[in-house]
Amino acid sequence: MAATLLKVSGLRVAYGGIQAVKGVSFEVHEGELVSLIGANGAGKTTTLKAVTGLQPVAAGDIEFLGKPIKGQGPWDLVKQGLVMVPEGRGTFTRMSITENLQMGAFVRNDKEIDADIEKVFAIFPRLKERRNQLAGTMSGGEQQMLAMGRALMARPKVLLLDEPSMGLSPIMVDKIFEVVADIHGRGTTVLLVEQNASRALQLANRGYVMESGEVTMDGDAKALLDDPKVRAAYLGE
């Protein structure tokens, strides 16, 4: 069996007195694309923030590459290869495409950064065409591509994507899911958080369904896609 890269057990996260994540457990194995789906407010973003050190953990354990990482800050985790593309993208709007990509490599000091920028341009030809353009002048879909490209510059061992298709036109949504499949196909392990359950499960090996701060179903992605409860709740049937 493939190595377990990320293992979250009994994770609890609270905002003040409000329990947003109530004992969530999941795993991501090497080479997998795992989708975490659920409605607005289910606790998906909160889970990712806790895993990446952006939100304090109230209880539970997080292991990355076989070691406990709870309490470590985002910088240290990115350096180890746990890299998130946040909800809303967070590109540096007043920097060019190329500068944004260079920022993604801030945790590295090797000599392959320029070569990796070329690799990112191979995945996203649109970014190459616009390499000197300011990020803030690009469309939402292009900024999502840039945010993913920037994350790849950190050489992720697990890439966490928080709702990459949110707010995009149908054509751009297609494009973004194609790119996620491409990144996975090139060998990156991916945890994909999405409200677009159908598309996310079609791409995934396995899936988890979150409701009100808890994982209520998990399993093979195709089995989840065929599950009548998933179809009724998330696929509008």
Ligand X SMILES: Nc1ncnc2c1ncn2[C@@H]1O[C@H](COP(=O)(O)OP(=O)(O)OP(=O)(O)O)[C@@H](O)[C@H]1O
Using CB under 5 A, list all residues that contact Mg ion: 44-45, 87
For residues 81 and 70, the answer to whether their CB atoms sit within 8 Å is no
Is residue 44 at the binding interface for ligand X, with CB under 6 A as the rule? yes
Is residue 164 at the binding interface for ligand X, with CB under 6 A as the rule? no
User: What character string, x for contact with ligand X (CB under 6 A) and - otherwise, covers 75-114?
Assistant: ------------x---------------------------
The Cα 80–Cα 150 span in angstroms is 16
Taking the least distance from each CB to ligand X, the nearer of 10 and 125 is 10
Backbone dihedral angles phi then psi of residue 45, each to the nearest 5 degrees: -65, -40
Q: How far is the CB of 42 from Mg ion (least distance, A)?
A: 8
For residues 190 and 34, the answer to whether their CB atoms sit within 8 Å is yes
Q: How far is the CB of 162 from Mg ion (least distance, A)?
A: 6
Query: What's 207-226 look like in SS3?
Result: EEEEECCEEEEEEEHHHHHH
**Number of residues counted as binding ligand X (CB under 6 A):** 13
Stretch that binds ligand X, among 37-45, 63-71, 106-114, 116-124 (CB under 6 A): 37-45
Taking the least distance from each CB to Mg ion, the nearer of 153 and 168 is 168
Is residue 17 at the binding interface for ligand X, with CB under 6 A as the rule? no
Is residue 216 at the binding interface for ligand X, with CB under 6 A as the rule? no
Stretch that binds ligand X, among 35-43, 78-86, 101-109, 113-121 (CB under 6 A): 35-43
Listed in sequence order, the residues at least 6 apart from 218 whose beta carbon sits closer than 8 Å to its beta carbon are: 26, 206, 207, 208, 209, 224
The Cα 157–Cα 190 span in angstroms is 9
Taking the least distance from each CB to ligand X, the nearer of 38 and 149 is 38
Q: How far apart are the first and last CA of the chain?
A: 35
The Cα 78–Cα 157 span in angstroms is 9
What is the contact surface with ligand X in residues (CB under 6 A)?
15, 18, 20, 38, 40-46, 87, 195
